[in-house]
Amino acid sequence: MKRADIFEFYRRLAEANPAPETELEYGNIYQLLVAVVLSAQATDAGVNKATRKLFEEVRGPQEMLDLGEAGLKQHIRTIGLFNTKAKNVIALSQMLIDLHNGAVPTDRDQLQALPGVGRKTANVVLNVALGAETFPVDTHVFRICNRTGLAKGKTPQAVEAILERQTPAPFRVQAHHWLILHGRYTCKARTPECWRCVVCDLCAFRPKSSPPKQSAKNRVEGETV
């Protein structure tokens, strides 16, 4: 995608959604970290449903340790891979107390040293909590960057590197949110909804999808007299 088209791509997404933000619910940076760890291979809606009561009880790592792994599992058992995630959350909480005085570090390498925290999770925490210019690449971002031609890469890290290099200055902090929300609600995995996409003409995807056809019954019921 040409530089002018990249700028226009982001400009239109920004115009359609001027203040994008994460859909994960949290009250502080520790809760954000836990929520992002739990969100791997799970939906934000599913994580929010599980953490609402959890975060009323747990606001920091010591309270998580007091709750314990078994207690945490009772809160998050509806989330995929909850056994492994519970172990990681307890372990990272212990490490935060042992190595960081209970605070969440703001350095990417230190974040990635925590159990269950990969590069994407660290980038999300830095971006959402601190407004850092990071480019977390999840399945949605990876898909639409390759599908549209915005940033073609064979791996998430390759796509991240292209986004880091080519995303224009006015859009760098919010780029991740625009891309993930566009992938979640418009440029969907199975059938992208090209007919209502604000960047359709800039996108390399072919063929463009069309609106689903209404049945004769629905057309009649939808008619007004």
Q: Taking each helix axis from N to C terminus, what angle separates 139-148 and 175-185, rounded to the nearest 10 degrees? A: 90
Q: Which residue has the tokens 């008619």?
A: 223
Annotated catalytic residue: which of 120, 201, 208, 213? 120
DSSP state of 172: T
Q: Is 120 a catalytic residue?
A: yes
Structure tokens at 5: 């088209």
Q: Is 66 a catalytic residue?
A: no
What are the C-alpha distances in Å from 124 to residues 8, 35, 67, 149? Answer: 24, 11, 25, 23
Q: Taking each helix axis from N to C terminus, what angle separates 3-16 and 175-185, rounded to the nearest 10 degrees? A: 70
Handedness of CA 209, 191, 155, 8 (dihedral sign): positive
d(CA 69, CA 83): 9
Annotated catalytic residue: which of 85, 138, 188, 213? 138
d(CA 201, CA 194): 9
Q: Which phi and psi (to 5°) does residue 219 adopt? A: -65, -40
d(CA 105, CA 94): 13
Question: Which residues belong to the active site?
Answer: 120, 138
